[in-house]
Amino acid sequence: MKKFTLIDKAFLLKKTLLFGTLDLDILLAIADKLQEITFVDEETIFGVGEEAFRMFFIVQGQVDICDANHQHVTIIDRDEFFGDESMFNEKPRAYYAISKGHTSLLALSRTNLLTIISECPSVAMGFLQAYTSTTSFRPRKNGL
């Protein structure tokens, strides 16, 4: 598989809900902090209880998300991201991420993500928009 150039990575980020509104110069700075990782079919990317120190963007392939009992929950496709929910609360991973077919990912470390957010607050807004677009209701302790 070919190595991705900085511009390839930036354009991939531009396709994501998280970074889609950012200008190319900011995307290039973020792309420079991404690490390419590949997995073979059915390889565990991370599992329940592991420390969450990276989030991932899918370049090629798919990722099967499974609960703590290894039951299928959903499939994540190309141009989507995952692993971000544990980046801020510093809790261990609560699910398994397993590659489906040959899978290429771009990984962004927690340290680099926090640096990016401090330098470009609009990235934090991207996270909020991504979460609010996928979460229609947040349960509360009193049942409502």
pTM: 0.84
For the record, the structure tokens of 86 come out as 């544990």
- In this model, does residue 66 exceed pLDDT 60? yes
User: What are the pLDDT digits (tens) for 30-48?
Assistant: 999 999 999 999 999 999 9
CATH number for position 14? 2.60.120.10
Question: What is the Cα–Cα distance from 18 to 30, expressed in whole angstroms?
Answer: 12
Find where tokens 């692993």 sit.
83
Residue 52 lies in a domain: yes
Residue 120 lies in a domain: yes
Where in the sequence is the domain holding 97, given as residue range(s)? 6-129
Rg of the chain on CA atoms, in Å: 15
Question: What is the Cα–Cα distance from 56 to 82, expressed in whole angstroms?
Answer: 5
Residue 134 lies in a domain: no
Counting the structural domains of the chain, the total is: 1
pLDDT of 117: 84
pLDDT of 71: 95
- In this model, does residue 93 exceed pLDDT 50? yes
Following DSSP, what letter does each residue of 49-102 receive, concatenated? T----EEEEEEEEEEEEE-TTS-EEEEE-TT-EES-TTTTT-PPP-SEEEEEEE
